[in-house]
Structure 1
């Protein structure tokens, strides 16, 4: 297997929770994760019945901090934005982009594979 895309971002978005994992494709294991299901994040966000883009951005920030602590922030982390939006549904595209932008804004070497046409105009 080619290790050109060793680390990949996987997003899980449900009505109640937002989870972001970085997977090491060499070992098949999750190396870093952040989720609104975690008590500190959940308590700080007051998600209630549904998590919004603000909660998704917080997940991205926490994931970025954990990547830095683990020494992985400079490694290329690959994300397929169009595929994530397609899988999560159009209504969740703002959450997907909130996570991606938070990772980028906090110094993660995020490589987004997208033609650029799916970014929400905010």
Structure 2
């Protein structure tokens, strides 16, 4: 049985760092990742002790580049799923600009994203 939402964007946001992963749910592996922890990304930012929406956009751009290298900009035809409302609920309302910065950076760099909402998840449970 194949999972309908095969590729999913997962975000990890703290005060100091931002990490974005695209996970292949069929085999549970991370296919691409980008983070402000990486030396090259950290060196190009002027975050200081905290990361902002600009840092999130850079993480989104680097992740998009890595997805294109892997050949997954289309998510193998279906796209990469992201539930922005769920991410905002989990990460807190104050991080919504960082979440949208990552999503917009991915979209503007040619990554096919499928934005899920809560209503779709509720209907899928029935």
TM over 0.5: yes
Q: What is the number of equivalent residue pairs in this alignment? A: 115
1:100 aligns with 2:100: no
Q: Which has the higher helix share?
A: 2
Could you tell me which of 84, 96, 99 is aligned with 1:81?
Answer: 84
Q: TM-score, normalised by structure 1?
A: 0.91
**Alpha-carbon offset, residue 48 of structure 1:** 1.1
Q: What is the aligned partner in structure 2 of residue 59 from structure 1? A: 59
Q: Per-residue deviation at 1:17?
A: 0.3
Show structure 2 runs of 5+ residues with no match. Answer: 119-126
Shift of 1:4: 1.3
Q: CA deviation at 1:108?
A: 0.3
How far, CA to CA, are the matches of 2:117 and 2:103 in structure 1?
12
Structure 1 distance, partners of 2:53, 2:103, is 11
Runs of 4+ that moved beyond 2 A: none
* TM-score of the pair, normalised by structure 2: 0.88
